[in-house]
Amino acid sequence: MTHHIIGKLLQGRYQIVQSLGAGVFGQTYIAVDVDYPENPKCVVKQIKVSSCESDYLDMLRLMFLTETETLKLLGSHQQIPEFIACFEENERFYLVQELIEGHPLTGELPIDQHWGCLWSEREVVEFLIDVLGILEFVHSQGVIHCDIKPENLIRRTSDTYGNDKALRKLVLIDFGSIQSIDFGIGAELPIYRIPVTSLGYIPPEQFIGQTQPNSDIYALGMIAIQALTGLEPLQLKADPYTNEIFWRSQNTPVNDYLAAVLSQMIRYNYQDRFQSAGEVLRILKQIIWETEPSQILETDDKFPLEVAIEDNNSPNPVSGKSSPLFTGMKVGLAANSLLMGFGVYSLVNTAPAYSETDTLYQAKKEYQTGDLQEAIALAKSIPSYSNVYPEAQATIEEWQQQWQVAAQQHQIAQIAFHESRWSDVLHAAAKVPDILYWQSRTDKLVQKAYVNIEVQTQDLLAKAYERATEKDFSTALQYLRQIPKESSAGALVQDKLAEYNRKRQIRAAYFLQKAYKKASIGDFNRAVKFLRNIPQDTLVYAQAQIKLNEYTQKQRVLADNQKVASVKRINSSIPKNSATRIEYFQGVNYLQEVNIR
């Protein structure tokens, strides 16, 4: 199949020049855009079609249009390939995206602790911060990537400044496996459908169709561990009882704090992991902030600031400032960094007790998952002497306001959906506050609204095209103006609006010129017909109305003159001694026999 398409010109524009490989969802190629003089390269993905049945193709077509809308949004991020176009040709679906010049992350990772250099802790943290920033954006768009692996992270060549790798950004590619965040219960992921390069990075829940946003975090954590240890995920062993992965050994000198972050990222149960990319980002950035100006993330064997896992039997647990997720952590002071240590220690002692911070954190989780009353009850349980009490009280008030707004907007979206007002569904959904419970409910309406918008768009476009072929551009424009602005065909609609309006103006001017010509030879009947075909909202309409009045009057005069002449002809044929004559009453417009004696 691949060799048949090499050299082929798609859409009369994209010429396939090279195959990049096949995946579960289709084939990927490099193409050149022949519409531009410099023939820039791009990536063309041919979506896999497993049936030619019309119902299947219709369903796939709607899904394709919906998913490309998501890819357009994702492509607005500077570290995600830009969306260029999508189209259907010969019952095949194609996606065109920006080609990222660079090399995959696989070329930078150590192999088996023998090939390549193990990464320093600083390099790992910088890598995590870079990619987590991308994932935070991706998840904010309601999307899970589902295939985070070294091959899908490209070190972009265009960012090169000298040989400093840190200045070259990573770009996340291949969104062919994306799922909505509210995917929930779905089809299981068979092992035979998974590319070999993805094995080890895919978390357990993804195999049973329960993919979560932090499934991407799991995969990213496995890459970071590979960078530190030189071991690929499938080389790591797991605890037979807990299924947790053993990755840290005596040969892996890594700071306890960073180790705890990585272990939290790859927990077997997704509920025990970090719940969002933003949480991990905040903690990692805090490491950098707390360690300046000592810059403990250099390639030293140990951080000056040591963080150890607390003994659960300790009677006086000391809580860290970083995050309630670090249950049981305490800060120890390095002997060679007393000043830095005391500075951090003072921050720790003024921080709220872990139980109170955890209570507020748990309240926020309840709020996001939809239990407002439980969330408020937990927040209210925080005592007034706690440092987090003011935040808890402010949060309660904010929750109550946002919840009311969310419920109202969701109801508005539901009513609009049932009344088939698809654009209003999207407008209401955009006003729903950042509450996962309400957003997930509204997102289902939004997805269906987008599908219906595309169906409506195709119907209106077909009607517009039909009227345009009949040169009825006014009606064609009316159909185009009914197409919702949220449609994926927005650019096409704008082009057709401009085209049909231009053609209508030309046709109106043509009718006016034809009217002039007919009037010049006295054919006012035809002239009036041409003028009455000129639409109201055209540039020559006012001039046409003036001529229409003028030619209508001349039409009447001419008609009157023709009737008078006709009467004269009739009377001239009547003998002079006849008892009757025909008279024409001008202005009354009827003929009558009269007695002339």
DSSP secondary structure string, 243-261? Answer: -PEE---TT----HHHHHH
Answer yes or no: is pLDDT of 65 > 80: no
Strand partners of residue 43 = 30, 97
The verdict on 149 and 79 lying in the same domain is no
The verdict on 204 and 180 lying in the same domain is yes
Strands 26-33 and 9-10: unpaired
The verdict on 17 and 69 lying in the same domain is yes
Q: Which of 41-45, 105-109, 382-386, 565-569 has the lowest mean pLDDT?
A: 565-569
Structural domain contains residue 312: no
Find how far residue 304's CA is from the centre of its chain.
43
In the set 112, 130, 147, 311, the catalytic residue is 147
pLDDT of residue 579: 58
The verdict on 411 and 366 lying in the same domain is yes
Structural domain contains residue 345: no
Distance CA 597, CA 589 (A): 24
Structural domain contains residue 147: yes
The verdict on 161 and 289 lying in the same domain is yes
Instruction: Identify the domain boundary among 488, 514, 531.
Output: 488
Residue 256 CB partners (closer than 8 Å, separation 6+): 306, 307, 308, 309
Asked whether 153 and 131 are in contact (CB, 8 A), the reply is: yes
Q: Which of 222, 237, 343, 308 is nearest to 273 (CA)?
A: 222
Structural domain contains residue 514: no
Tell me the CATH number at 179.
Answer: 1.10.510.10
Distance CA 394, CA 518 (A): 79
The tokens for 189 are 């992921």
Q: Which of 56-70, 134-148, 340-354 has the lowest mean pLDDT?
A: 340-354
The verdict on 30 and 164 lying in the same domain is no
Residue 355 CB partners (closer than 8 Å, separation 6+): none
What residue numbers bound the domain in which 27 lies?
2-98
The verdict on 204 and 181 lying in the same domain is yes
Instruction: Identify the domain boundary among 52, 67, 98.
Output: 98
Distance CA 365, CA 272 (A): 13
The verdict on 124 and 271 lying in the same domain is yes
The verdict on 299 and 150 lying in the same domain is yes
> What percent of the chain has a predicted confidence (pLDDT) above 90?
26
pLDDT of residue 549: 92
The verdict on 134 and 247 lying in the same domain is yes
pLDDT tens, position by position, 533-544: 999 888 899 999
Find how far residue 38's CA is from the centre of its chain.
29
Residue with tokens 């790992």: 124
Distance CA 132, CA 128 (A): 6
Distance CA 228, CA 236 (A): 13
Q: Is 296 helix (H, G, I), strand (E, B) or coil?
A: coil
Distance CA 565, CA 558 (A): 10
pLDDT of residue 168: 79
pLDDT of residue 305: 34
Residue 147 known to be catalytic: yes
The verdict on 210 and 227 lying in the same domain is yes
Query: How would you label 25-62 residue by residue, b for 16+ Cβ within 10 Å and e otherwise?
Result: bbbbbebbbeeeeeeeebbbbbbeeeeeeeeebeebbb
Structural domain contains residue 517: no
Answer yes or no: is pLDDT of 342 > 50: no
Distance CA 322, CA 279 (A): 10
Strand partners of residue 305 = 333
Residue 285 CB partners (closer than 8 Å, separation 6+): 129
Distance CA 354, CA 326 (A): 9
Distance CA 181, CA 274 (A): 16
Q: Is 485 annotated as belonging to a binding site?
A: no
Tell me the CATH number at 42.
Answer: 3.30.200.20
Structural domain contains residue 6: yes
Answer yes or no: is pLDDT of 588 > 70: no
pLDDT of residue 444: 85
User: Does the bond joining 104 to the residue before it have cis omega, within 30 degrees of 0?
Assistant: no
Asked whether 18 and 30 are in contact (CB, 8 A), the reply is: yes
Average pLDDT over the chain reads: 78
Answer yes or no: is pLDDT of 223 > 90: yes
Q: Which of 213, 207, 63 is nearest to 138 (CA)?
A: 213
CB atoms under 10 Å from CB of 195, counted, come to 15
**Could you give the number of structural domains in the chain?**
4
Instruction: Identify the domain boundary among 488, 518, 541.
Output: 488
Residue 514 CB partners (closer than 8 Å, separation 6+): 526, 527, 530
Residue 263 has phi, psi (to 5 degrees) of -65, -35
Asked whether 106 and 150 are in contact (CB, 8 A), the reply is: yes
pLDDT tens, position by position, 261-300: 999 999 999 999 999 999 999 888 877 544 443 343 443 3
Strand partners of residue 306 = 332
- Is pLDDT larger for residue 275 or for residue 563? 275
Answer yes or no: is pLDDT of 324 > 70: no
The tokens for 566 are 């006709």
Distance CA 57, CA 88 (A): 11
Answer yes or no: is pLDDT of 404 > 50: yes
Answer yes or no: is pLDDT of 107 > 60: yes
- H or E stretch at 128: helix 121-140
Asked whether 315 and 283 are in contact (CB, 8 A), the reply is: no
pLDDT of residue 580: 57
Q: Is 99 helix (H, G, I), strand (E, B) or coil?
A: coil
Looking at residue 100, its amino acid is I
pLDDT of residue 405: 92
The verdict on 112 and 261 lying in the same domain is yes
Asked whether 554 and 568 are in contact (CB, 8 A), the reply is: no
Kindly state the average pLDDT of the residues 79-107: 89
